Amino acid sequence: FLKNLKSVFELYEQKRNEGKIKFYGMATWECFRVPPDNPQYLSLEDTVNMAKKIGGEDHGFRFIQLPYNMNYDQALLAKNQLLGTENVSILEAALRLGIGVFTSVPFMQGRLLAPGNIPEFNGLKPSMRALQFIRSSPGVLAPLAGQKSTEHVSENLEIMKIPPMSENDFLALVKKLTS
């Protein structure tokens, strides 16, 4: 896998040098969320170091995408990434390494929107709670939500009318959800 990834990064850096792309990233499912002893595991620090070896300090590897929501919370809670000698979550590792994080499956194909599946907070309806949780997470640039109708687009844009939670409010919510 790493040999193939290196080849892809080399191609992307070549395309950057040609002026065809500015940045690139990886859309993932498990590799950044599983424990280090899992065969699917990938170290973000090692991946960034590979990009630096190929493209220098100004490499174009700038983004990752991974599943994250109130049910798939490993990106926030699992301290599976080793940075130096410290174990941190993938969100913390990405933040420290300058990698932007986009998230997938904010609603788990609608399953999180059913009554009772997402804890109540801030008087928001389920879709807004799901988006607010993700967008308030440190290190997340944005959730990527599939939208099959103009109604879904309009509803999901409603979140822009309220600010993300403060770090203290977010941490209090996480504590409530995990205790």
pLDDT bracket for residue 117 (50, 70, 90): confident
178: pLDDT strictly greater than 90: no
Torsion angle of C-alpha atoms 127, 159, 76, 167, degrees rounded to 10 = -130
Cβ neighbour number for residue 95 with a 10 Å cutoff: 16
Q: What is the pLDDT of residue 57?
A: 97
* CATH homologous superfamily for the domain 2-178: NADP-dependent oxidoreductase domain (3.20.20.100)
Tell me the whole-structure pTM to 2 decimals: 0.90
Q: Which of 13-17, 127-131, 145-149 has the lowest mean pLDDT?
A: 145-149
DSSP state of 166: P
Q: In whole numbers, what is the pLDDT of the chain averaged over residues?
A: 93
8 A C-beta contact, residue 32 and residue 63: no
| pLDDT per residue as tens digits for the range 54-75 | 999 999 999 999 999 988 999 9
Distance (Å, whole) CA 162 – CA 132: 9
Going from the C-alpha of 65 to that of each of 121, 125, 143, the distances in angstroms are 26, 25, 9
The domain ranges of the chain are 2-178
- What's the average model confidence in pLDDT over 118-134? 87
| 49 pLDDT above the threshold of 80 | yes
- Predicted confidence at residue 111, as pLDDT, reads 83
Amino acid at 156: N
> How high is the pLDDT of residue 79?
97
47-51, 60-64, 95-99, 163-167: least confident range? 163-167
Give the range among 9-18, 26-35, 152-161 with minimum mean pLDDT.
Answer: 152-161
Confidence at 123, pLDDT banded by 50, 70, 90? confident
- pLDDT value, residue 4: 96
Residue 140 has a pLDDT of 96
> What pLDDT shows up at residue 148?
80
Residue 11 in this model has a pLDDT that exceeds 90: yes
